[in-house]
Amino acid sequence: MLVAGHTALFDISKCIEVVPINLEDLTGFFLKKYNVGSKDIVNTERKLMKAASYENELATQFDVLLWYIKAWKLTCTQEFSNIKGENNHPFTDSIYQYFCSVEQIAYDFIKGILLDTECLQYPSSVLIASVITLTIEIHFKLDIIPNLVSRNITSVELIEMRIIFILWDRLLQKLFGETSVPRIERFGHYVIERSKLIYLKVRENIESHLFNVYKVRAIRYFESSLLDVSSDSSDNTIKAEFAKDINWVKGITSK
């Protein structure tokens, strides 16, 4: 049982950790006094994998984020190919950069959300879709609009942005229903405002304990006035404001 337990930990760490546990950690430290060798671990891992039908990977919130971004990019690529022709470059460079920015900012938001057990009760499909939706809105308002002149953003690029926004909404409609977009957007406000509230309460401890959770990108948005949350706000106040949207999410996920 001791070997099986440590082997299971070793196996799953390879799926979810950036720097996973290795064989030397097990044989040279954790199980050193039990004289367990590398072959024992490998043989036990083979048995565990076979018993689990080799299905040991659990999708995380970050995997769901990557799936949404890929699905959005693919949808946009197909649409732009229809508009411009298959042999033409589908996007301008700024659109590629925009996809990357949305993905990076949403990724940072998710790190904070993982501290919020209230939000983690909702399915990742709805949770991450709402985070991306609000990220698109916040990023555009805070980064794109104020810098239209200084960044020399062309009318073509603005039109392309408008198209990719429409295609994101269409993706949501296919997944959650024709009238889902406003609900998803408001649920995104609920999730991110909760995350900002948590950030405000732990802000003093970020540098010493939570520096890997709250990155500079997310902090910049939390410190802006786009999210109407202050340190005086309460969890119940935010929940009451978005009660209908929360109930809507519970309704579609219970069907």
pLDDT of residue 69: 92
**Mean pLDDT to the nearest integer, 158-182:** 92
| Diameter over CA atoms, the chain | 69
pLDDT tens digits, residue range 43-64?
888 888 778 766 655 567 888 8
Q: Look up residue 231 and give its two tokens.
A: 């340190």
Global pTM exceeds 0.85 = no
pLDDT of residue 84: 66
Contact 77, 90 (CB under 8 A): yes
pLDDT at position 231 is 59
**93: its two tokens:** 């460079």
DSSP-derived letter for residue 122 is S
Cβ-count burial of 155 within 10 angstroms (0-12 exposed, 13-18 middle, 19+ buried)?
Answer: exposed
Nearest to 44 by CA among 29, 58, 61, 31: 31
Residue 229 three-state SS = coil
Average pLDDT, the chain: 80
- Single out the residue of 127, 134, 142 nearest to residue 252, CA to CA: 127
